[in-house]
């Protein structure tokens, strides 16, 4: 389990799922005979009534496929923006540096899927999702059928039924109210993508 101080705990399902959908390149962790193993893969979120599922695929030669075939709990980690926080931004000291960040941990049970039609639908949904912003989107259906069938044989599908979601939004909520605007300003001055994203999340969560 992730360390979740009350200040930083996020439990709202809509917020957690929205984060997964925005940061959908996750880290899948499982335990096998040789110990822990992990793979970075893109996921899609599916809902079946009240049930939340994460679907994706692995390369067939990946040793994690054999671990997953034996069952047991898996963990998918979805990391968001993160940024170093300087104690020089606080109104008073003493204080030490820290890090602000967002992470979602999704625990569940996995089912391996070999069905070619299921895999074809998954890959088309994935490619359509990530090609949507291109001026001339690549289309999986334009591939030669023999080539596509060969590629499909090289992967195994994953369908993870989520049994528990844990969200950590560590965004200086434990600091005095006077410090948080100073941290936001410091991040905005830094100006890199992650710093600006963390500053934006902090602004969203400031009391109105």
pLDDT of residue 32: 81
Query: Which domain range does residue 93 map to?
Result: 6-177
Task: Answer whether residue 151 is part of any domain.
Answer: yes
Tell me whether residue 198 is in a domain: no
Asked if residue 208 has pLDDT above 80, the reply is no
Any domain includes 14? yes
Does 4 have pLDDT greater than 90? no
25 within a domain of the structure (yes/no) = yes
Establish if 10 belongs to a structural domain.
Answer: yes
What per-residue confidence (pLDDT) applies to 33?
79
User: In this predicted structure, what is the pLDDT of residue 207?
Assistant: 80
Q: Please name which of 26, 51, 208 lies closest in space to residue 106, comparing C-alpha atoms.
A: 26
Per DSSP, the residues of the chain read -----GGGEE--HHHHHHHHHHS-EEEEEEEETTEEEEEEEE-EEEEETTEEEEEEEEETT-HHHHHHHT--EEEEEEEEEEEEE-GGGSSS-S---EEEEEEEEEEEEEEEE--HHHHHHHHHHHHHHHHTTSSS---GGGS-HHHHHHHHTTEEEEEEEEEEEEEEEESSTTS-TTHHHHHHHHHHHH--HHHHHHHHHHHHHS--
Number of structural domains the chain divides into = 1
Average pLDDT, the chain: 94
Round to whole Å and give the CA distance between 43 and 53: 10
Is residue 194 in some structural domain?
no
Dump pLDDT digits (tens) for 121-139: 999 999 999 999 999 999 9
For residue 1, the number of C-alpha atoms closer than 13 Å in the C-beta half-sphere is 7
Does the pLDDT of residue 165 top 70, yes or no? yes
Residue 70 lies in a domain: yes
CATH classification of the domain holding 106: 2.30.110.10
- Report whether 154 contacts 5 (CB < 8 A): no
Average pLDDT over residues 65-94: 94
Judge whether 142 lies within some domain: yes
Residue 104: Cβ-neighbour burial (10 angstroms; 0-12, 13-18, 19+): buried
Can you tell me the mean pLDDT for 175-179? 95
Q: Burial of 98 by CB count in 10 Å (0-12 exposed, 13-18 middle, 19+ buried)?
A: middle
Check whether the bond before 30 is cis (ω within 30° of 0): no
């Amino acid at each position: 389990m992730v360390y979740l101080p009350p200040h930083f705990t996020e439990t709202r399902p809509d917020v957690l799922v929205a984060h997964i959908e925005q940061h959908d390149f996750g880290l899948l962790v499982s335990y096998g005979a040789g110990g822990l193993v992990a793979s970075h893969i893109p996921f899609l979120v599916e809902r079946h009534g009240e049930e939340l599922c994460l679907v994706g695929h692995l390369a067939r030669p990946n040793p994690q496929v054999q671990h997953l075939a034996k069952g047991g709990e898996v963990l998918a980690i979805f990391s968001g923006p993160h940024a170093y926080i300087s104690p020089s931004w606080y109104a008073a000291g003493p204080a030490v540096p820290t890090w602000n960040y967002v992470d979602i941990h999704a625990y569940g049970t996995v089912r391996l899927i070999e069905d070619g039609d299921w895999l074809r639908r998954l890959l088309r949904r994935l490619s359509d999702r990530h090609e949507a912003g291109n001026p001339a989107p690549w289309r999986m259906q334009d591939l030669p059928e023999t080539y596509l069938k060969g590629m499909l044989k090289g992967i195994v599908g994953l369908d993870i039924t989520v049994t528990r979601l844990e969200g950590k939004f560590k965004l200086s909520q434990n600091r005095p109210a006077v410090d948080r605007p100073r941290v936001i300003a410091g991040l905005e001055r830094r100006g890199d993508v992650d710093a600006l994203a963390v500053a934006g999340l902090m602004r969203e969560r400031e009391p109105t």
